[in-house]
Amino acid sequence: MSYITSGTRHLSLAELNYSEEENVLTVGKKTLPLEPGWIETESPWLLVPFDGPNQLEQANVCLNAHIKPIGTPQFHKWLGAVAGDMGRLEEVRASTIKVMSFVFTKLNPSIEVSASDNPGSYGFNMAATKYNHAKLHTFGDCACLHQNPEGHWVNSRDWGEGYCEYDWHNTDADTQAWSLLAGIGHLARLASQQAVKG
């Protein structure tokens, strides 16, 4: 049993969402405007501690105390349903790439980012894994947010419970981390709008 499921009552996990219309990331009740002037004074690694009530059971994605997103069973169920429909998956992928690219260039307009239909691990990309987990890439050398099989809060032995801890790779610039947080926050928002029934 994962730390998540064994300690739910004692955890303080904040729901993560991104609003494309307002260009804000929300963590619990905290609103984070993704604007250059604000971001220059705030690091994504300083978002904690969150001292509100645990939101894990009603959320799609939460942030833990180490700024690692935790995907919930309803999030992964939704992502699995999306992955089962190639047309829908492409729509979700395109909108997620658009969000990550927009946030990245908004926060760092001095970097010229070229669009690519096949960016691989070096540009903006989104995929669903065979476990119905998300994998997001931002601009950089394999800068990504991916499932962590050795997570401290949830590891691969616990994936059958539906939870997954995500981890960072090669996110050397805060701009990369903010764009990835916006990407998974966007997916969480889509999941809440398109909830899977049953």
For 186-198, how does the pLDDT look when each residue is reduced to its tens digit (9 = 90+)? 999 999 998 754 4
> Is residue 13 in some structural domain?
yes
pTM: 0.91
Domain encompassing residue 57? 3-193
pLDDT at 11: 73
Report how far residue 47's alpha carbon sits from residue 62's, in angstroms, rounded to the nearest whole number.
12
> Is residue 198 in some structural domain?
no
> Is residue 179 in some structural domain?
yes
CB 68 within 8 A of CB 167: yes
Residue numbers of the chain with a pLDDT score lower than 70: 1-3, 5-10, 45-51, 114-121, 196-198
Q: Residue 157 has what DSSP assignment?
A: G
Q: At residue 179, what is the residue type?
A: S
pLDDT at 61: 97
pLDDT at 56: 83
Domain count, the chain: 1
Pure H helices in the chain: 3-6, 36-39, 73-83, 86-107, 174-193
> Is residue 50 in some structural domain?
yes
